[in-house]
Amino acid sequence: MTFMLHEVVTLTPADQPNWRRLRLEALESYPAAFLTTAGEQRARPASVDRAALSGGNWRGLYHEREMIGIGALIPMQQEACAHRMQIGAFYVVEAHWGSGAAQVFLDALITEARKRGAGQLELSVAADNPRAIRFYERNGFERYGTQPRAVILDGVAQDDFFYVRMLDR
Ligand SMILES: CC(C)(COP(=O)(O)OP(=O)(O)OC[C@H]1O[C@@H](n2cnc3c(N)ncnc32)[C@H](O)[C@@H]1OP(=O)(O)O)[C@@H](O)C(=O)NCCC(=O)NCCS
């Protein structure tokens, strides 16, 4: 049997145990990179996870047969915003940083967004997350604004930067 080194798949409720493991790892290891806290996720019953995974927005990055990344590709629902999609909760396990795995994952989301007719991809990133900022800027995302005090964690406020990448020009 053959399989690709990296594969990006749409997650379903059946993926909940693996998804939850990676999601908690992301939130515990890099709390400043996400809006949700690990505590919130821990308190969430599996049924809520499964409902989220039934929406078709979550993608998983596999290396051989192991899930090594998760992320969401979220189309905006309003008719007038049908050209916009958002990337959220993007995470690759640290052992695979710098390997090109995150690039494969992002490329897959960009390709899918284009195929589905999106004209632009949007995301936000913590202002003090230089690695992610470099990764997105290397991939043509342009900063268009700042959300002051996007989160307050342990009493410390942190800004987020908004990014957009045009797909149709
Ligand atoms: C963000 C993430 C997906 C990127 O994947 P990755 O494999 O680490 O990315 P890459 O190695 O391809 O690119 C990282 C870039 O940042 C650079 N970099 C690393 N540390 C840096 C720092 N402190 N300052 C500036 N640039 C830095 C790297 O040199 C590389 O740039 P280069 O290609 O020009 O050399 C991954 O690091 C991750 O999951 N991080 C934790 C969760 C997170 O922050 N998610 C984003 C939420 S918006």
Nearest CA to ligand 1 atom 7: 97
pLDDT of 161: 98
Q: Which of 25, 27, 134, 151 to mutate to test the pocket of ligand 1 (most atoms within 8 A of CB)?
A: 134
Is the distance from the beta carbon of residue 36 to the nearest atom of ligand 1 less than 6 Å?
Answer: no
C-alpha to C-alpha distance for 102 and 89, rounded to whole angstroms:
13
The pLDDT tens digits for 37-94 are: 999 999 999 999 999 999 999 999 999 999 999 999 999 999 999 999 999 999 999 9
Q: What is the pLDDT of residues 84-116, one digit of tens each?
A: 999 999 999 999 999 999 999 999 999 999 999
Interatomic CA distance for residues 93 and 36, integer angstroms: 18
Q: Is residue 169 scored above 60 in pLDDT?
A: yes
75/1 Cα distance (integer angstroms)? 35
Residues 113-135: pLDDT tens digits?
999 999 999 999 999 999 999 99
Q: What is the pTM of this model?
A: 0.96
Could you please report the per-residue DSSP string of 86-128?
EEEEEEE-GGGTTTTHHHHHHHHHHHHHHHTT-SEEEEEEETT
Give distance in angstroms: CA of 97 to centre of ligand 1: 7
State the distance from the centre of ligand 1 to the C-alpha of 1, rounded, in angstroms: 33
> Phi and psi (nearest 5°) for 166?
-75, 140
Q: How remote is the C-alpha of 67 from its chain's centroid?
A: 14
Q: In what order do the strands lie in the sheet with 6-10?
A: 6-10, 58-63, 66-75, 84-92, 120-126, 156-166, 142-153
- The tokens for 34 are 């996400």
> Is 125 a pocket residue for ligand 1 (Cβ < 6 Å)?
yes
CATH number of 6-166: 3.40.630.30
